[in-house]
Amino acid sequence: MSHSLQFFTSTRAPYLSLKKLPATSYTWFPVINFPTKKHSLKIIKSLSSDLDAASSQVLESGNGQTGAAGFLSADDVVAVPSHVPSDSGAAAGIDVDSVTEAELKENGFRSTRRTKLICTIGPATCGFDQLEALAVGGMNVARINMCHGTREWHKMVIERVRRLNEEKGFAVAIMMDTEGSEIHMGDLGGAASAKAEDGEIWTFSVRAFGTPLPERTINVNYDGFAEDVKVGDELLVDGGMVRFEVIEKIGPDVKCRCTDPGLLLPRANLTFWRDGSLVRERNAMLPTISSKDWLDIDFGIAKGVDFIAVSFVKSAEVINHLKSYIAARSRGSDIAVIAKIESIDSLKNLEEIILASDGAMVARGDLGAQIPLEQVPSAQRRIVQVCRQLNKPVIVASQLLDSMIEYPTPTRAEVADVSEAVRQRADALMLSGESAMGQYPDKALAVLRSVSVRIEKWWREEKRHEAMVLPDVGTSFADSISEEICISAAKMANNLEVDALFVYTKTGHMASLLSRCRPDCPIFAFTTTTSVRRRLNLQWGLIPFRLGFSDDMESNLNKTFSLLKARGMIKSGDLVIAVSDMLQSIQVMNVP
């Protein structure tokens, strides 16, 4: 197969494009930014081996710096494979993914994206190439939702993400999201969806049916359902996507009339309301972590997932319990526990839950089914603020770009919602159905990316940061020193307009303290293990590198400078502030 080489013009410069290859496997490099003549030739040659003779002659005569026989000039942009094999991190002694590297080289430090992006993986994105496209598009964390799919399927996704990291140098972390034991519908007997029309009578039942299910019948997972509901209650599917009114109870069957028609999806969440409030009968006693969840958690520990997100957390106790369970089972590797805030109880006990957790998720889908919708934005704002104060990463999730499940562009309202989450400086934004089963997963990710970068830039330029009181979160004197160092270093970085903050951290703690300050410049976080590197990938503004380093900061810095310089990621004269876990000091220096 030969690939044709094309020029097409844009407002900026002529671009070279490689046809017949998926655009996602390429990174666009401006020619002037090729770090060395040797580097550019290597890239060009590795491409040209696939090109037809005429095009490859053109390319082989080019050196990328001075123009190729009149074809390449300093403003041209060429596509290069987004992973250049000879550039692999391990060989060079430092691991960073090729996408971040290209972004740093192309746009400079200031323009790198600070907000992290999470994609829920589903049927639309579980192929290796699809996962790679998401990683190239900026996915920092892949989420698997244990509500859906089989264990075999989850295993396959985890293995593919790990292989992607190993082969292509990414640090995509894996988040496993538990099912939880709230009330939900069954799987619709295998159907992808079912349409409920206005006025139709449907039966909700706890009885076990064979497949196919009787017509207009829905299974409910909670045995006490028929006893707890009353005639006249309102039954909300997925927080109001479809509504029913309970008209009759016949033993285990509950007959309901559809009052708001819509699409029923498998395993959709169910809530029932009486006199305008959510009814919480015995179901409030259901365990947060069900027996099925414990099996899933064992699976997650065995597979070494990076994060476990716990659905419908009600108290700090369940988080503490899970953390000690993980500590006992997975010696050495520590899996971070994320509390999903999606119930009334979790809002009541917010501070203590977040304090006990390693991070939180504003799970707006279910939250909006439990509290009035108009209260969701203020709850989001409060959760983001508490997390930042307590130094825990926070994720804003659900319906960010819901219309993109079906359409290639977002609504203006969705863009405004994403902008607000970025403006609140949440650590991460999450795609759900948009990436799991939508038509345009890559486009949705690209929207999150471009809106994040734009809003972050605007906010930096306008210097509009909300000054937030950052209380002392350390429990020891040494912790307090680290906090003070990070707060001072971030302030100095802003005032001196430095190019980057460097942090050398074994556990990642010092990096998170710097991230909490949300400085203007990016934070290069150097850590010794790949697992800490992956975990740091959830936190605002951190560019995680894996690097072997010692307690001698002088030699660490020299090593870092020479490695990053060799790869064109920093240059002589760049102003850097360095802090470390080992040495409690702040160093300000120009790259030699």
Ligand X SMILES: Nc1ncnc2c1ncn2[C@@H]1O[C@H](COP(=O)(O)OP(=O)(O)OP(=O)(O)O)[C@@H](O)[C@H]1O
User: Rounded to the nearest whole angstrom, what is the least distance from the CB of residue 344 to ligand PYR in the complex?
Assistant: 14
Instruction: Convert residues 148-177 into a mask of x (bound to K ion by CB under 5 A) and - (unbound).
Output: -----------------------------x
Q: Name 412's Cβ contacts closer than 8 Å, sequence gap at least 6.
A: none
Using DSSP's 3-state secondary structure scheme, residue 31 falls into: helix
User: Rounded to the nearest whole angstrom, what is the least distance from the CB of residue 191 to ligand X in the complex?
Assistant: 12
Angle at alpha carbon of residue 307, lines to 533 and 361, rounded to 5°: 110
Axis-axis angle for helices 441-462, 412-423 (nearest 10): 50
Nearer to ligand PYR, 118 or 485 (CB): 118
Among 358, 366, 427, 499, binds ligand X (CB under 6 A): 366
Nearer to Mg ion, 254 or 363 (CB): 363
Among 148, 168, 388, 546, binds ligand X (CB under 6 A): 148
Our finding on whether 293 is near ligand X (CB under 6 A) is no
Our finding on whether 398 is near ligand PYR (CB under 6 A) is yes
Residue 437 binding: pick among K ion, ligand X, ligand PYR, none (C-beta 5-8 Å cut-off by kind): ligand X
Contacts (CB under 6 A) with ligand X, residues 506-525:
none
For 336, the token pair is 């971070």
Phi and psi at 423, nearest 5°, equal -65, -35
In whole angstroms, give the CA distance from residue 581 to residue 575. 21
Instruction: Convert residues 357-396 into a mask of x (bound to Mg ion by CB under 5 A) and - (unbound).
Output: ------x-xx------------------------------
Cis peptide before 30 (omega within 30 of 0): no
Residues forming beta bridges with residue 575, ordered by sequence position:
590
Among 342, 456, 499, 581, binds ligand PYR (CB under 6 A): 342
Are residues 288 and 310 in contact, defined by beta-carbon separation less than 8 angstroms? yes
Among 41, 147, 286, 437, binds K ion (CB under 5 A): 147
DSSP 533-574: HHHHTTSTTEEEEEE---S-HHHHHHHHHHHHHHTTSS-TT-
User: Rounded to the nearest whole angstrom, what is the least distance from the CB of residue 368 to ligand PYR in the complex?
Assistant: 8
Nearer to K ion, 397 or 500 (CB): 397
For 83, the token pair is 């992973």
Nearer to Mg ion, 372 or 548 (CB): 372
Residue 364 binding: pick among Mg ion, ligand PYR, ligand X, none (C-beta 5-8 Å cut-off by kind): ligand PYR
Our finding on whether 296 is near K ion (CB under 5 A) is no
Our finding on whether 311 is near K ion (CB under 5 A) is yes
What single-letter amino acid sits at 578? A
What single-letter amino acid sits at 71? F
Using DSSP's 3-state secondary structure scheme, residue 108 falls into: coil
Question: Cα 547 from chain centroid?
Answer: 23
Our finding on whether 359 is near ligand PYR (CB under 6 A) is no
3-state secondary structure 146-209: CCCCCHHHHHHHHHHHHHHHHHHCCCCEEEEECCCCCCEECCHHHCCCEEECCCCEEEEECCCC
Q: Measure Cα distances from 381 to 386, 397, 423 in Å.
A: 9, 13, 11
Our finding on whether 265 is near ligand X (CB under 6 A) is yes
Nearer to Mg ion, 394 or 523 (CB): 394
Nearer to ligand X, 102 or 400 (CB): 400
Contact residues for ligand X, defined by CB under 6 A: 120, 122-123, 145, 147-149, 177, 265, 267, 311, 365-366, 432-433, 436-437
Which parts of this chain interact with K ion (CB under 5 A)?
145, 147, 177, 311
Residues that bind ligand PYR (CB under 6 A): 311, 340, 342, 363-366, 397-398, 432
Residues that bind Mg ion in the complex, under the rule CB under 5 A: 342, 363, 365-366
